[in-house]
């Protein structure tokens, strides 16, 4: 039953939009349910949808047990907003079907991000874009882009961004549960050993099964994320470039990016070299970052204070530290940023977009 048909035995939720969470049992889906339980409740019914093998499971959301239903066209009956966290090919098939049934789809896959008829939205940066959705679909950016773009959006609004040079330090949960299981398994194999002192010793210890990664990730860094694209670039690197351009409305922004996987469970980090239209001051940048919504400036190296994934994990903001003016270019800043790739990098931004859409139902 949708909120529009509800009879009122719902704790005052009558008349509010009905939400579907598609992919509710996955790693990001689980965080979506936590966020729905933590945020101000703007929803009527919340329907949990997953693959048929998960149907019938019960998951907690807003303090209630809700039964998961199988993905089908009927599952979208009466749904106003649907948050999708499913593989690209599943989203490509089902998001248009849900939209055709009247739902506004907020999709966290890569299927629609660069579609010119699908806005790519970060509520702190380009909230206005959410209303221009001719396909009834709004896309959520990739977690690596999202881990830096709120801070960059704030600096761009003041200084006018002209170039980005970025390196990522990506957590294994970006590669899903398999990524986390792989790191934990490899860590258990190398813990308490003297490994990491001879070529190939870590590789021999962890064996040939390196999970979703091309190389061992324990006691290592792996300069690769995603799949191979033209001229040696990775899909992840192309996403950071293309998505940053689209979100910031800078289609020709020069972006150089190298994506690297590190033995961190959750929270992506990036070093950023950002060049602007004119001279910038560290003090000016610090003032912007200290007051930007969704950003925490944590930057006092003299006191040993800068963000790290171990402290940023499980939190919502983009953490920024190591703010410096480039030594050889008075128009450029150097930053280190951290953001939880499962929260702001996925579930939180998706939920924030869905809440922007929900406000249209007011």
Nearest distance from residue 327's CB to ligand 2RA, in Å?
A: 30
Kindly tell me which residue out of 48, 151, 175, 296 binds ligand 2RA, with binding defined by CB under 6 A.
175
Assess 143 for contact with ligand 2RA (CB under 6 A).
Answer: yes
Sheet with 19-22: strands ordered across: 58-61, 64-70, 46-50, 19-22, 81-84, 104-107, 137-139
Q: What span, in angstroms and rounded, lies between the C-alpha atoms of 14 and 5?
A: 8
Q: Kindly state the smallest distance separating residue 333's Cβ from ligand 2RA, in Å.
A: 24
Q: Which stretch binds ligand 2RA (CB under 6 A): 30-38, 64-72, 136-144, 214-222?
A: 136-144
∠ CA 127-122-337, rounded to 5°: 140
Stretch that binds ligand 2RA, among 14-22, 89-97, 141-149, 277-285 (CB under 6 A): 141-149
DSSP strand pairing (81-84 vs 104-107): parallel
The answer to whether 210 is a known ligand-binding residue is no
126 is in an annotated binding site: no
Verify binding: residue 242, ligand 2RA, rule CB under 6 A: no
Parallel/antiparallel/unpaired status of strands 332-339 and 268-276: antiparallel
Quick one: 258 or 331, whose CB is closer to ligand 2RA?
258
Residue 170 interacting with ligand 2RA (CB under 6 A): yes
Q: Rank residues 70 and 260 by Cβ distance to ligand 2RA and give the closer one.
A: 260
CA distances from 59 to 21, 32, 33, 262, 313 (A): 12, 12, 8, 31, 23
Span interacting with ligand 2RA, options 13-21, 167-175, 286-294, 325-333, rule CB under 6 A:
167-175
- Active-site residues: which are they? 143, 268
**Which phi and psi angles does 169 have, rounded to 5°?**
-130, 90
Alpha carbon separation from 176 to 85, 126, 143, 181, 313 (Å, rounded): 12, 28, 12, 9, 16
**Number of CB atoms found within 10 A of residue 270's CB:** 26
DSSP 314: T
Please tell me whether 321 is known to bind a ligand: no
The dihedral formed by the CA atoms of 212, 215, 217 and 222, expressed in degrees to the nearest 10? -100
Contact call for residues 75 and 49 (beta carbons, < 8 A): yes
Least CB distance to ligand 2RA at residue 179 (A):
7
Q: Residue 148 Cβ, how far from ligand 2RA at the closest point, in Å?
A: 12
Does 44 belong to an annotated binding site?
Answer: no
18, 144, 266, 350: which one contacts ligand 2RA (CB under 6 A)?
144
Q: In this chain, which stretch among 11-19, 139-147, 190-198, 353-361 interacts with ligand 2RA, using CB under 6 A?
A: 139-147
Query: Which of residues 223 and 330 has its CB atom nearest to ligand 2RA in the complex?
Result: 223
Instruction: Determine whether the annotation assigns residue 173 to a binding site.
Output: yes
In the set 95, 120, 225, 257, which binds ligand 2RA (CB under 6 A)? 225
Residue of this chain nearest to ligand 2RA (CB atom)? 174
* Cα atoms found within 13 Å of the Cα of residue 31, Cβ hemisphere only: 25
Is 2 known as a binding-site position?
no
Phi, psi of 33 (to 5 degrees): -65, -40
**Cβ distance to ligand 2RA smaller for residue 245 or 261:** 261
All residues at 6 or more sequence positions from 194 whose CB lies less than 8 Å from its CB, including other chains: none
Binding residues for substrate: 170, 261
| Residues in touch with ligand 2RA (CB under 6 A) | 142-144, 170, 174-175, 225, 236
């Amino acid at each position: 039953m949708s909120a529009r048909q509800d009879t009122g035995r719902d704790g005052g939720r009558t008349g509010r939009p009905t939400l579907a969470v598609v992919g509710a049992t996955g790693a990001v889906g689980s965080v979506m349910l936590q966020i729905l339980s933590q945020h101000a409740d703007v929803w009527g019914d919340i329907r949990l949808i997953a693959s048929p093998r998960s149907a019938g499971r019960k998951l907690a959301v807003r303090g209630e047990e809700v039964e998961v239903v199988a993905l089908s066209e009927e599952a979208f009956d009466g749904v106003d907003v649907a948050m999708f966290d499913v593989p690209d090919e599943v989203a490509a098939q089902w998001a248009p079907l849900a939209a055709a049934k009247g739902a506004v789809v907020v999709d966290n896959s890569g299927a629609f991000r660069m579609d010119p008829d699908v806005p790519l939205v970060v509520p702190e940066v380009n909230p206005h874009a959410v209303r221009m959705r001719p396909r009834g679909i709004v896309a959520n950016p990739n977690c690596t882009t999202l881990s830096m773009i709120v801070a960059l959006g704030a600096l761009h609004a003041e200084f006018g961004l002209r170039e980005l040079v970025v390196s990522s330090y990506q957590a294994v949960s970006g590669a899903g549960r398999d990524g986390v299981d792989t790191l934990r398994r490899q860590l258990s194999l190398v813990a308490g050993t003297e490994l990491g002192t001879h070529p190939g010793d870590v590789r021999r210890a962890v064996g040939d099964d390196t999970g979703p990664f091309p190389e061992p990730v324990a006691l290592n860094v792996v300069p690769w994320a995603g799949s191979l694209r033209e001229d040696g670039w990775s899909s992840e690197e192309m996403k950071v470039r293309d998505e940053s351009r689209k979100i910031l409305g800078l289609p020709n922004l020069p972006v150089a990016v190298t994506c690297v996987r590190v033995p961190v469970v959750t929270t992506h980090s990036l070093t950023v070299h950002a060049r602007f239209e004119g001279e910038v001051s560290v003090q000016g940048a610090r003032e912007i970052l200290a007051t930007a919504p969704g950003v925490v400036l944590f930057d006092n190296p003299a006191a040993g204070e800068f963000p790290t994934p171990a402290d940023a994990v499980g939190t919502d903001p983009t953490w920024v530290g190591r703010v410096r003016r480039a030594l050889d270019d008075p128009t450029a800043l150097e930053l280190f940023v951290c953001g939880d790739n499962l929260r702001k990098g996925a579930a939180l931004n998706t939920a924030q977009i869905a809440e922007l859409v929900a406000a249209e139902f007011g």
